[in-house]
Amino acid sequence: MSSIHTELVLKALESLDALSAPPPDGRPSLLGVPITELERFAEAAGEQRYRGRQIFQGLFHRRVTSFADLTDISKKLRDALEATFDIDRPKVEQVQASTDGTRKYKLKANDGSIFEAVYIPEVARGSRTNTLCVSSQTGCAVGCKFCFTASLKRNRNLSAAEIVGQVLAVRDDVAPFGERAQVTNIVFMGMGEPLLNYAQVTRAIGILLDPMGAAFPSKRITVSTSGIVPRIYDLGRDLPTQLAISLNATTNAVRQQVMPITKKWPLEELITALRAYPLQPRRRITIEYVLLGGVNDTIEDARRLPHLLRDIPVKVNLLPLNAHDRTELKTPEWSQVLAFERELKRHGMNAILRRPRGRDISAACGQLGETVPLPQSREAAT
């Protein structure tokens, strides 16, 4: 290895904007670095600018897993990169397969943090959609009362590299199942509130959208939020991705009970942000409504919802609560679920009753985090 070149590469590190916190072995990950920074980095390392593009394409288009496979750059540069950087995906500790084809991944970061991602294959209207639900944090401080992740009480932000690494790790895992198993859609609906990790989430999305790399179309990446109002405005300005809102109530009083974040950003402010959200033609905001027995599932709620969302292009996903042992909330009666859906449709709403996926492996909506060990003090308390 040329030590002179390695020194240049180390110096060129300074040209990279926001590297994730270096892992314990000190080598930062290249998986969170956008193409423009890699080009700048190549120049600073005494290479041609286009070498940065070649590295980016190797990482995200060809999805190489070792620097040795970046065969279109010189061995000298490959060795220097290897000595300086890491391109490891989060480690797949466990894969659980549901009877419905859903796969839940227990992933381990370099610092030992555990988080989960869920792969959901679906055949809809004759076309195959394989959605990957990714995490943005290792727990969640937002504290929604129906959510298992909230009970973990941890919320380290994942870095852009760890977010992109999730996608690469799952793509690698499903690759042997053939072309039809490819991940086609990404939803930020896993562990964590993505808009409370705004810088790293948007950085990761920029990398995933880049046509030189993973090249996901913007309509196939959805960011779901509990309603971090200022960041909704930012997101609409910064990225062309799809937006989903976890709404779950039609009055502030009920929403405060199940989503304490409502005290900070009440429904009026959230709805104003949705009205202002710049939507591309033929796109809609997804409204997620978890039906909680006896709490938000009345016919009055079903009548208030269309009024609340009037004039906003939306589709409503109805999700009866996936019960778990960290919530006292209950799944509603099936007759109530059907009545709620009927009432929304009667008011002309585009409402879809979602079939829970991966419930047998605790991979369904609101259930993520079951494979994450509790801190010892909490373990004793439960």
CB of 43 to ligand SF4, least distance (A): 40
Q: Give 243's strand partners.
A: 223
Burial of 235 from C-beta contacts in 10 A (0-12 / 13-18 / 19+):
buried
CB of 265 to ligand SF4, least distance (A): 13
Question: By C-beta, is 38 or 361 nearer to ligand SF4?
Answer: 361
Question: By C-beta, is 143 or 293 nearer to ligand SF4?
Answer: 143
Q: For residue 226, state whether it binds ligand SF4 (rule: CB under 6 A).
A: yes
- Residue 167 Cα distances to 29, 160, 207, 221, 342, angstroms: 15, 11, 11, 12, 37
- Here the tokens at position 47 are 């290479």
CB atoms within 10 A of CB 50: 12
Annotation says 116 is catalytic: yes
Question: By C-beta, is 33 or 321 nearer to ligand SF4?
Answer: 321
CB of 372 to ligand SF4, least distance (A): 12
Extended beta strands in 56-211, E state: 91-97, 103-108, 114-124, 127-133, 185-188
How far apart CA 224 and CA 299 sit, in angstroms, is: 26
Find the helix packing angle between 198-209 and 160-174, rounded to 10°.
40
Question: By C-beta, is 63 or 330 nearer to ligand SF4?
Answer: 330
Report how many helices (DSSP H) and strands (DSSP E) the chain contains, helices first.
12, 10
Q: For residue 30, state whether it binds ligand SF4 (rule: CB under 6 A).
A: no
Question: By C-beta, is 54 or 149 nearer to ligand SF4?
Answer: 149
Please pick, among 116, 193, 341, 343, the residue that the annotation labels catalytic. Answer: 116
**φ and ψ at residue 72, rounded to 5 degrees:** -90, 5
Q: For residue 317, state whether it binds ligand SF4 (rule: CB under 6 A).
A: no
CB of 137 to ligand SF4, least distance (A): 8
Question: By C-beta, is 74 or 113 nearer to ligand SF4?
Answer: 113
**# chain residues binding ligand SF4, by CB under 6 A:** 12
Annotation says 365 is catalytic: yes
CB of 315 to ligand SF4, least distance (A): 19
Interaction with ligand SF4 in 185-224: which residues (CB under 6 A)?
191-193
Q: For residue 246, state whether it binds ligand SF4 (rule: CB under 6 A).
A: yes
- DSSP secondary structure string, 296-326? T-SHHHHHHHHHHTTTS-EEEEEEE----TT
Helix (H) or strand (E) holding 77: helix 75-84
Interaction with ligand SF4 in 121-180: which residues (CB under 6 A)?
140, 142-144, 147, 149-150
CB of 222 to ligand SF4, least distance (A): 13
Q: For residue 232, state whether it binds ligand SF4 (rule: CB under 6 A).
A: no
Q: Give 222's strand partners.
A: 187, 242
How far apart CA 104 and CA 127 sit, in angstroms, is: 22
How far apart CA 106 and CA 95 sit, in angstroms, is: 6
How far apart CA 373 and CA 114 sit, in angstroms, is: 8
Interaction with ligand SF4 in 87-126: which residues (CB under 6 A)?
none
Please pick, among 133, 140, 147, 365, the residue that the annotation labels catalytic. Answer: 365
Question: By C-beta, is 67 or 105 nearer to ligand SF4?
Answer: 105
**Where do contacts with ligand SF4 occur on this chain (CB under 6 A)?**
140, 142-144, 147, 149-150, 191-193, 226, 246
Q: Among all residues, which ones are annotated catalytic?
A: 116, 365
